[in-house]
Amino acid sequence: MNQAKATWICALLLMWSFTGSATQNQTVGEEEQALLNQKEKLNDYFGNLISWTTAAGLSACQWFHIGCSNGSVTNITLGGRQLSGSLACDLGRLRSLQRLEMQDNSITEEIPWALGMATRLQHVNLSNNWLTGGIPHSLSKLPHLRSIDLSNNNLTGIAPKFRKGVYVNVAGNPLLRSC
Ligand SMILES: *[C@@H]1O[C@H](CO)[C@@H](O)[C@H](O)[C@H]1NC(C)=O
Ligand SMILES: *[C@@H]1O[C@H](CO)[C@@H](O)[C@H](O)[C@H]1NC(C)=O
Ligand SMILES: *[C@@H]1O[C@H](CO)[C@@H](O)[C@H](O)[C@H]1NC(C)=O
Ligand SMILES: *[C@@H]1O[C@H](CO)[C@@H](O)[C@H](O)[C@H]1NC(C)=O
Ligand SMILES: *[C@@H]1O[C@H](CO)[C@@H](O)[C@H](O)[C@H]1NC(C)=O
């Protein structure tokens, strides 16, 4: 699938998920649903995400590798968990997310454009995976971003310009260009 097409499907799914939320099962919260959709896209051979369930009334803040503040998901810390699979557009629904760490896994496919809708993001570490495609420009627009580490992937295209003062590491992507 080419990147433009993937971006559109992502955008449509995201719009659908917002407009459709009123009719969704009310017992599953917005953040839980987003994370469960992300879980579905990951192969979790070692059961690191086994606690990600709404059974027994668990909320995302009680799940392993999730950090919360004021009852909202702020941290996802899944570095080095032997995860494969891909990133879900649904990460963009986590409106309080500040830290996304999924480095040192085997994650493939593209970084979803919709990740840039998680506008509180400060730190993104996706280094040492198998990510392909371009770096979405939406990430370079994140107003609170302080560091983004995308090193050692297989990203392509032209890297967007990030704000001054943002720590950016895109080394080890042989097909990525900057201008
Ligand atoms: C909503 O989810 C709960 C827990 O997963 C389930 O028991 C219930 O049947 C669901 N309700 C509907 C209307 O889908
Ligand atoms: C989120 O991660 C940062 C940096 O590791 C840490 O200082 C902070 O306490 C974490 N917050 C939560 C709610 O887990
Ligand atoms: C949590 O709420 C307090 C008080 O409303 C606020 O000062 C703080 O910034 C909030 N923390 C986050 C991570 O949103
Ligand atoms: C991202 O994770 C890698 C691998 O664990 C680590 O070496 C690197 O320092 C991290 N990057 C940032 C910006 O923290
Ligand atoms: C990296 O991307 C290029 C171009 O899309 C592709 O030909 C190559 O097979 C990829 N390599 C790996 C290790 O994914």
For every one of its 179 residues, what pLDDT tens digit does the chain have, with 9 covering 90 and above?
Answer: 566 666 666 666 666 555 544 445 556 899 999 999 999 999 999 999 999 999 888 999 999 999 999 999 999 999 999 999 999 999 999 999 999 999 999 999 999 999 999 999 999 999 999 999 999 999 999 999 999 999 999 999 999 999 999 999 999 999 999 87
**What is the per-residue pLDDT for 21?**
47
Position in ligand 1 atom list of the atom nearest CA 25: 1
List 75's β-bridge partners, or say none: 67, 99
Give yes or no for a contact between 152 and 171, defined as CB atoms under 8 angstroms apart. yes
**What is the per-residue pLDDT for 56?**
83
Q: Which ligand is nearest to the CA of 173?
A: 5
**What is the per-residue pLDDT for 17?**
58
Question: Cα(28) to centroid of ligand 1, in Å?
Answer: 8
Question: Cα(24) to centroid of ligand 3, in Å?
Answer: 28
**What is the per-residue pLDDT for 179?**
73
Nearest protein CA to atom 1 of ligand 5, as residue = 154
Question: Cα(72) to centroid of ligand 3, in Å?
Answer: 10
> Nearest-CA neighbor of 107 among 133, 141, 74, 136?
133
CA separation for the pair 27, 33 (Å, rounded):
10
DSSP letters for 142-175: -TT--EEE--SS---EEPPPPPTT-EEE--S-TT
Question: Cα(98) to centroid of ligand 2, in Å?
Answer: 9
**What is the per-residue pLDDT for 28?**
83
Domains of the chain, earliest start first: 3-177 (3.80.10.10)
Q: pTM for the complete prediction?
A: 0.84
Contacts of 130 (CB under 8 A, 6+ apart): 106, 107, 108, 153, 154
Question: Cα(70) to centroid of ligand 3, in Å?
Answer: 6
Say if strands 99-101 and 72-77 run parallel, antiparallel, or are unpaired.
parallel
Q: Quick check: CB of 178 below 6 Å from ligand 1? A: no
Say if strands 157-158 and 130-132 run parallel, antiparallel, or are unpaired.
unpaired
Q: Quick check: CB of 79 below 6 Å from ligand 4? A: yes
